[in-house]
A = this chain, B = another copy of it.
């Protein structure tokens, strides 16, 4: 007999596009991923096995809260993050075709596919049953793919697939992801409908509205439990949080593309809100902005030991992976 289980760990895909005609970023109005019609987007999400729950727009960003996590669509790139037993990689080929057909984007500028090691990989559907299978699938679609494993393969690790190439646009970006497990049981109660009457109340009780006070928040409380939110910030910045509160497999993810300089503070705030037993941070920063020696000294948090600290110097990015564990108290 197997009990109730949900794989909170998301598959995370980010693809950046360019045109071979104008590599110096003078785009035509047609060169915009937000031109892809909404019903076509929903068809692609059907292939992934998830549905749109909420949709909103800002000047820079289309944001979707999904039945399994989130999507953000920008002019030249999109972010698709899906949890559970979704088949995210089935979206890749259709998206490449749509970007070409609707937006004249004929160049893939950069790809990032990443995820944490699954708790129960045997429940996943192909090609997500192992990282090797995912890599083979991506290698069939892209040239120059590079597959990395960060962390400890026999304890907890995080996988990344990206392209070994110089980017036109992607390199102006940066991303922080915080993946938290063994969460505070009392804090997780907030994300059960039996304890919290509305999603707005959950967002407020948890303090999520305080992380970036100037955000427009789109949030969703699942029945009987679980929580998702997308936050839109000025200048094309966003953040997104997904919560699987069940004690046996509790999982919270936080992701943002606000500038690198804020990451130490943001990590401190987010970890204080959720009080995880363990968490990993993955940071993609431009190579110019990161001092590896500084990073090693600075990104330390009271109550936590940094168990792992790894750096991968990619062509346009430094990727910094850290794994933290609460002190035995």
* Chain A residues with a Cβ under 8 A of chain B: 131-132, 135-136, 139, 145-149, 151-155, 164, 291-293, 296, 307-313
Q: Can you name the residue of chain B whose Cβ is closest to the Cβ of A151?
A: B148
One of B147, B154, B293, B307 near A152 (C-beta < 8 A) = B147
Assuming A146-B155, A148-B152, is B307 touching A310 (CB within 8 A)? no
In the docked arrangement, what's the CA distance between A307 and B293, Å? 21
Contacts of A308 in B (CB 8 A): 146, 312-313
Q: Are A296 and B292 in contact (CB under 8 A)?
A: yes
Of all A-B residue pairs in the complex, the 3 with the closest CB atoms, nearest first, are A292-B292, A309-B313, A149-B149
A132 touches B146 (CB 8 A): no
A291–B149 alpha-carbon span in the complex (Å):
23
Q: Which residues of B contact A139 (CB under 8 A)?
A: 154
**CB closest residue in chain B, given A138:** B154
User: Min CB distance, A38 to chain B, in Å?
Assistant: 35
Give the CA-CA distance A296 to B147 in the complex, in Å: 21
Q: Which residue of B lies closest to A145 (CB)?
A: B154
Q: Are B146 and A154 in contact (CB under 8 A)?
A: yes
> Which B residues lie within 8 Å of A151 (CB)?
148
Complex Cα distance A145/B152, Å?
9
Min Cβ gap A98→B in Å is 26
CB distance from A176 to the nearest CB of B (A): 19
How far is it, in angstroms, between the C-alpha of A296 and the C-alpha of B132 when the chains are bound?
29
Which of B132, B146, B293, B309 has a CB less than 8 Å from the CB of A291?
B293
Closest chain B residue to A306 by CB distance?
A: B313
A153 CA / B309 CA spacing, docked (Å): 19
Nearest B residue to A295, CB-CB? B292
With A132-B153, A135-B153, A145-B154 known as contacts, the answer to whether A164 contacts B307 (CB < 8 A) is yes
Determine the chain B residues whose CB is within 8 A of the CB of A147 once the complex forms: 152-155
| Alpha-carbon distance between A307 and B314 when the two chains are bound, in angstroms | 8
